[in-house]
Chains A and B, each alone.
Chain A
Amino acid sequence: MGEVLARFDAVTMQFGDLVAVDKASLEIRSGEVLAVLGENGAGKSTLMKLLYGVFPPTDGTIVVEGCPDGISGPAEALRQGIGMVFQHFSQLPALSVRDNLLLAWPKTPFWKSRRNRATGDVLSKLRDMAPAIDPDTPVHDLSVGEQQIVELVKVLNIQARIVILDEPTSVLTPAETDRLHGFICQLAADGVAVVLITHKLRDVEACADRIAVMRRGAIVDVSYRGERSMQEIVTLMMGKTVDRKLPSPQPATNPVDRLVLQYVSAQAAGMRLRDISLAVGRGEVVGVAGVAGNGQTLLAEVVAGIQPVTYGEVLLDGERIGRRRPGETLSTPLGYIPEQPRENATVEQLSLADNLALRDLAEGNRTDGSTSDLLCRFNVNPPVPDKRAGTLSGGNLQKLVSARELGTPRPAILACYPTMGLDLAAIELVYEHMFAQAAAGAAVLWISEDLDDLLAAAHRIAVIREGAIVALETNDGTLTRDRIGALMAGMASVSEAA
């Protein structure tokens, strides 16, 4: 057993009403890979950001070996040899690889000319790991995998005692993932304490020595490698299986294609869609599954007519609804629930009533008096039409958007993570209305990362990876979570199921 380098003692972190970390106690030891495992939003990243000093805990203490006064901020954390690789990289895209590395290196000399010997040292680890990366390239020209390598080199350069990796494999290809796993094991063998934040069992299997499982902000279990079966760990991670009754819609008896994507290609910052063809029939619910960042956002925005298509067509009942050029005025006939509705679907300065009427304003219709009724039907709290939308909590804002988009009959529904941030009752409510639209004949395209919900209610499930639909499976009861997961990760061939 290595020595204890850091200890969390009943640490709690609250953001307003949200308890992100709930009385967590944990030790971090040298020469050990500690996996912090949990679903999205379980509080894993927040817990480790507390150690890195991004914000002070609301309650409890974090003791770092050799630093009795605690960590005051990331600068202090770096000096104490604590390095963190964020899920969203902390690199400056406009600066070169060299400058980004120099920035994070405490020993950067005052004069950082490239002829300076000391400046050359900062690149030595990069040359070992990825000789192909030119240090003078601006970071925005690198691939995501390459950016992560730069990020790792940054942390290695500070001679870290504790290295925290936040979901490091979520953006990597399988080969890059294997290389990273080997690398993590090597670090631990060199005596470094590695904290691996992940929701993937593969990462845990590959390199974890100790496994801490988090659920809803609390650490529910800590075990050594081999103490528990993977099955037990999964159960701990998910909690007791929620027996969610999804009002699965009846499959359409007469499937006429309504929402049709033909050979759709599109491009936006950092992502492209390649040749997507998909047809959603009348009354059909088609789910889209994929690892976050594989083109779901762009797909949604292309179907909603926000991003232009570079090739192909998006059709609704035979009419083109896709955007051809950026400046075009276009209002989508779809009911569209985008991700991050606070930024993407509401005007925070306007009242709830005005937010509900946004689409009518655009379409030139007069608003009717159904606002209060709509707020009550979707359980928006408080149901006060004059209240400003910005004052609502995230969950209620999501319900407000659902009320607008699902509250009136639509020819088709496009829902992007429609239940994110909602409690169980609200989730059921949103699903109920979404499937009611399908029952009334709407074509529903439903992007989600909750595989269980997709498997419970979608008629068909499309898997998106690297901007392409790699599989379209009929959900006939034989489709499993593992199968979808393997397709998402690119580990299964499409023909395997047949």
Chain B
Amino acid sequence: MTADFVALLATWCIATLRSATPLIFATLGETLTQRVGVINLGIEGEMLTGACVGFTVGVATGNPWLGLLAGALAGGALSLLHAGLVLGAGANQIGSGLAVWMIALGGTSFFGRALVGKQVTPLADLGSPLTDGIPFIGTVMAQATMAVPLAILATCFAAWWLAQTRPGLKWKAVGESARIAGENGIRATRVRVTAIVVGGLLAGFGGAVLSVDYTQTWAQEMTKGRGLVAVGLVIVARWKPALVLPVCLLFGLAEVSVLRIQSAGYAFSPHLLGTFPYLVVLVVLVSSHVFARRASAMPADLKAVFA
């Protein structure tokens, strides 16, 4: 009985982690971008491009790590377009983000046709003779890949970076007010470009993790709005990298339970069921606003986007 329960817990845990991993990278990237006062709706496109390019390179080289690297670089390159439009040409951030998304949507649909049905070499799992016999840990390790610990490390690193380092402090300052940061001798535009590109790299990496590691296939529009979900989860995580992990895991857990309920054969509309993860996030968002009533955690310069 206990053994069954531990096994069940382990499968749910690892399913949640794996489902949340691409989202963690994307949400972390968007969090960092928004912390410098820039909103990037193009993150959906950057994920999609990362997934497409990552899968292509993964298939071509047979090396999933090269695929992930290429996906990250593709996302970073696309985010440079957003940076150029917003910071160079002074374009509206919402408009520019949507443009980047649409470009990526069209581009990946076109170039992705050749990828349908292809096989990619997946990342190796973390299972080893050392852990195999151990309850819970054995099951988790056997199904986890390096992408999972990487995602967790990335959030920890980002949280440490913002809270404890000098460049991180500069990022926060630029997000609060580019003007005041400038008066303090910080080159705000340079910081913003850096953060946008870092966000793009992370989103692209997340996309590549999705296609190369999680689904191991390519499908048109396969991100299914995960990038936009990431934009929403940034608000739920109150712009704090440390909260990105639990928030994304919660969303992942809700997604996994939807899949499990469906496969268990309950007669329930799959469309309605599909809204469940968003409902959970909405409840968390509302309750976090009620409980943390004092001063919003939103970087002050983000408000300028809507002015």
Binding site for B on A (CB under 8 A): 54, 73-75, 77-79, 84, 86, 90-95, 99, 102-104, 106, 108-113, 140
- Known contacts A95-B176, A112-B164: A103-B169 contact under CB 8 Å: yes
Interfacial chain B residues near A94, Cβ < 8 Å: 176, 295, 299-300
How many residues of chain B get a CB closer than 8 Å to chain A's CBs? 21
Contact B166 A108 (CB under 8 A): yes
Contact residue among A78, A84, A86, A110 (Cβ-Cβ distance under 8 Å from B165): A110
A selection of 26 A-B contacts at a CB cut-off of 8 Å is A54-B183, A73-B182, A73-B185, A74-B182, A74-B185, A75-B186, A90-B180, A91-B180, A92-B173, A92-B176, A92-B181, A92-B300, A95-B169, A95-B173, A95-B176, A99-B169, A99-B173, A102-B169, A103-B173, A103-B186, A106-B185, A108-B169, A110-B165, A111-B165, A111-B166, A112-B165
Closest-by-CB residue of A relative to B168 is: A112
Task: Tell yes or no: B263 within 8 A of A by CB.
Answer: no
Given contacts A74-B184, A86-B183, A112-B165, 10 further A-B contacts (CB under 8 A): A54-B183, A84-B183, A91-B180, A92-B172, A93-B176, A94-B295, A95-B169, A99-B173, A103-B181, A111-B166
Q: How far is the CB of B191 from chain A (nearest CB, A)?
A: 12
Closest-by-CB residue of B relative to A92 is: B176
A109 to B165, CA, bound (A): 8
Interfacial chain A residues near B164, Cβ < 8 Å: 111-113
A110 to B170, CA, bound (A): 11
Q: How far is the CB of A24 from chain B (nearest CB, A)?
A: 22
B163-221 contacts to A (CB < 8 Å): 164-167, 169-170, 172-173, 176-177, 180-187
Interfacial chain B residues near A78, Cβ < 8 Å: 184-185
Contact B176 A112 (CB under 8 A): no
Contact B185 A75 (CB under 8 A): yes
Binding site for A on B (CB under 8 A): 164-167, 169-170, 172-173, 176-177, 180-187, 295, 299-300
Contact A112 B169 (CB under 8 A): yes
A77 to B185, CA, bound (A): 8
Interfacial chain A residues near B173, Cβ < 8 Å: 92, 95, 99, 103
Interfacial chain A residues near B176, Cβ < 8 Å: 92-95
Interfacial chain B residues near A113, Cβ < 8 Å: 164
Interfacial chain B residues near A93, Cβ < 8 Å: 176, 300
Interfacial chain A residues near B180, Cβ < 8 Å: 90-92
- Known contacts A95-B176, A99-B172, A103-B173: A90-B166 contact under CB 8 Å: no
Interfacial chain B residues near A91, Cβ < 8 Å: 180
Interfacial chain B residues near A92, Cβ < 8 Å: 172-173, 176-177, 180-181, 300
- Known contacts A108-B166, A112-B165, A112-B166: A90-B172 contact under CB 8 Å: no
Contact B172 A75 (CB under 8 A): no
Interfacial chain B residues near A90, Cβ < 8 Å: 180, 183-184
Contact A74 B169 (CB under 8 A): no
Interfacial chain B residues near A73, Cβ < 8 Å: 182, 185
Which of B177, B184, B185, B300 has the most chain A CB atoms inside 10 A of its CB? B185
Contact A104 B185 (CB under 8 A): yes
What 9 pairs across the A-B complex have the smallest Cβ distances? Answer: A75-B185, A90-B183, A92-B176, A78-B185, A90-B180, A108-B166, A104-B184, A74-B185, A103-B184
Contact residue among B167, B172, B182 (Cβ-Cβ distance under 8 Å from A95): B172
- Known contacts A92-B176, A92-B177, A99-B172: A109-B166 contact under CB 8 Å: yes
Interfacial chain A residues near B167, Cβ < 8 Å: 110
Interfacial chain B residues near A99, Cβ < 8 Å: 169, 172-173
Interfacial chain A residues near B299, Cβ < 8 Å: 94
Q: How far is the CB of A67 from chain B (nearest CB, A)?
A: 15
Contact residue among B165, B166, B187, B300 (Cβ-Cβ distance under 8 Å from A75): B187
